Chains A and B, each alone.
Chain A
């Protein structure tokens, strides 16, 4: 069972939900795909960390062999190459497809490995913690996401995997949810929250992923995110209150489900609900 936790913006509670689900679901795997600012490790404090460097391949030019035919420049769909009196390569724009090497008939292009970040694997009790870290200034963390998801895919099928996605609904989020069996959307009870919820709602609908919503920071009174769910017939999986104690636990980097019985129960129920949803989906499609 692979569960992705996502939201349209940062600070909605993705990490709160993913970390606590992985805790109550242990033995489990927690995968931090928010590679620009991974923070799940702050809660899990994993030990026995193994680190792997992540590199991408970037073309390098042999200017003496290059004849300036520009076949590579015309081929590159990402516009990562330009030719003035010599070939220019824009590393940050390159998507490492290797196409330029294929079209070069002069063998003027080769590839070099460029380090873009790393993946850390550690353990925290019965939770395996995988963290992706993108070097500051790098344009795309997608190669790191691929490595993270490959690593988590090596586990036994019975071990649940909880994927803490990057915020938003861009390519990097699509990569993070690609192999998920179920998506948990976390939403805030504001008009702005509804806008962000709608972004990820459209994304998971486009990917035809089964999904449900966790309403976070719930206050008494109206909840625009809840109204959105009712209007669109979206399943509400859980409601997390706007709670001072929970805020304190979080800012102390403590895992609520380990510290507080109410939250242990809340996330346990959420896990059961999600598990049931996944089972229902599997039955419905088999």
Chain B
């Protein structure tokens, strides 16, 4: 199973990024090989639609599940259309969340926020 997590750094000690769409990297962890690879988030600096593009990257990574502290509406539409299940992270460390998920200890992410689109910016 492939587990995606928005990450601040591209090493296994990384913390979970507070933002899904604007995370610097995505950690994609393979629970079978127990190896993680990192994808650069090319959407991180997008003027708009970052969540959509970021979700596309996660979908294309072949992830089966996404662990994230929060997720915007548009990104969630893409993630859910690809049948990727979302769980809410509980810890700062990405790896700790992955371990908790594998033990069935992470809750579903059921709150989707409307996005932080800065139309009045």
Contact = CB atoms under 8 A, between A and B. Distances in A.
B12 interface: no
A79 interface: yes
Interface in A237-266: none
A47 interface: no
B52 A90 contact: yes
A78 B49 contact: yes
A84 B82 contact: yes
A73 B121 CA distance: 26
A85 B56 contact: no
A190 to B, nearest CB: 20
Most B C-beta atoms less than 10 A away, residue of A79, A85, A88: A79
Interface in B26-58: 43, 46-50, 52-53, 55-56
A166 B99 CA distance: 50
Given A79-B43, A84-B82, A93 B119 contact: no
A90 B119 contact: no
B43 to A, nearest CB: 7
Interface string A136-170: 00011000000000000000000000000000101
Interface in A67-114: 73, 76, 78-86, 88, 90, 92-93
Contacts of B74: 90, 92-93
B52 A85 contact: no
Interface in B96-119: 117, 119
Contact of B81 (A88, A140, A170): A88
A22 B31 CA distance: 69
Given A85-B82, A88-B77, A88-B78, A79 B50 contact: yes
A76 to B, nearest CB: 8
B46 A79 contact: yes
B52 A139 contact: no
A76 B56 CA distance: 13
Nearest to B115: A92
A76 B82 CA distance: 20
A92 to B, nearest CB: 8
B77 A139 contact: no
B119 A82 contact: no
Interface string B77-90: 11001100000000
18 contacts: A76-B49, A78-B48, A79-B43, A79-B52, A79-B53, A80-B52, A83-B56, A84-B59, A85-B82, A88-B78, A88-B81, A90-B49, A90-B74, A90-B77, A93-B49, A93-B52, A93-B74, A140-B119
Given A82-B81, A90-B74, A139-B117, 7 more contacts: A79-B49, A82-B56, A88-B77, A88-B81, A90-B52, A93-B74, A170-B121
